């Protein structure tokens, strides 16, 4: 099995965790908006498609970036670069979907800020779990 299959499965497992987190945060922040559940579902669906592609390419870039740094440091740097990309994407999607909400920008900012910390923790743990797995490695 090659590394591409590993990266695809890793992408899917992360996306499940991340999308569930985004949906939950969106429901918390926009719970009083009309059609909040439907709109939060759209945020989650759009995010799933866009971020799976972004995450896959993020993985490929880091796979080709060879370094002698400790794995824990590498995972921390991957966490930071991914979180910046992903939180910006969430902010843009949520603020667009909920654009009729008078506080959409503030709420989308709140989601993105909480995501930064919560998902960095989740992502780091996801990276450590995958580091210990041999799935998809030659």
Query: What mean pLDDT value characterizes the chain?
Result: 90
Residue 54 lies in a domain: yes
3-state secondary structure of 30: coil
Contact between 74 and 130 under an 8 Å Cβ cutoff? The reply is: no
Average pLDDT (108-137) is 91
1 has a pLDDT exceeding 60: no
Does residue 46 lie in a domain region?
yes
111 is a domain residue:
yes
Structural domain containing residue 94: 3-131
Instruction: Look at residue 107 and tell me whether its pLDDT is greater than 70.
Output: yes
Could you tell me which residues come within 8 angstroms of residue 19 by beta carbon, excluding any fewer than 6 positions away? Answer: 44, 47, 48, 51
The domain spanning residue 95 has which CATH number? 1.10.132
One DSSP character per residue, 54-110 reads HHHHHHHHHHH----S-HHHHHHHHHHHHHHHHHHHHHHHHHHHTTTSTTHHHHHHH
Q: Are 104 and 117 in contact (CB under 8 A)?
A: no
**Does the pLDDT at position 54 exceed 80?**
yes
Position 73 in a domain: yes
- Give the pLDDT confidence of 7-18 residue by residue, as tens digits: 889 988 988 998
Domain-located, residue 137: no
In the predicted structure, residue 61 carries a pLDDT above the cut 60: yes
Helix then strand count (H, E) for the chain reads 4, 0
For residue 83, the model assigns a pLDDT of 86
Structural domain total, the chain: 1
State percent of the chain over pLDDT 70. Answer: 99
């Amino acid at each position: 099995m090659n590394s591409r299959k590993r990266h695809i499965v890793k992408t899917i497992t992360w996306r499940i965790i991340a999308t569930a987190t985004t949906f939950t945060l969106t429901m918390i922040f926009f719970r009083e908006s009309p059609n909040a559940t439907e709109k939060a579902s759209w945020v989650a669906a759009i995010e799933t498609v866009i971020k799976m592609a972004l995450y896959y390419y993020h993985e490929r870039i880091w796979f080709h970036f060879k370094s002698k740094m400790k794995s824990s440091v590498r995972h921390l740097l991957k966490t930071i670069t991914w979180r910046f990309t992903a939180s910006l994407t969430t902010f843009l999607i949520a603020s667009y979907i909920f654009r009729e909400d008078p506080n959409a920008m503030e709420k989308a900012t709140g989601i993105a800020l909480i995501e930064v910390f919560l998902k960095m923790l989740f992502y780091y743990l996801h990276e450590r779990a995958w580091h210990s797995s041999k799935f998809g490695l030659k």
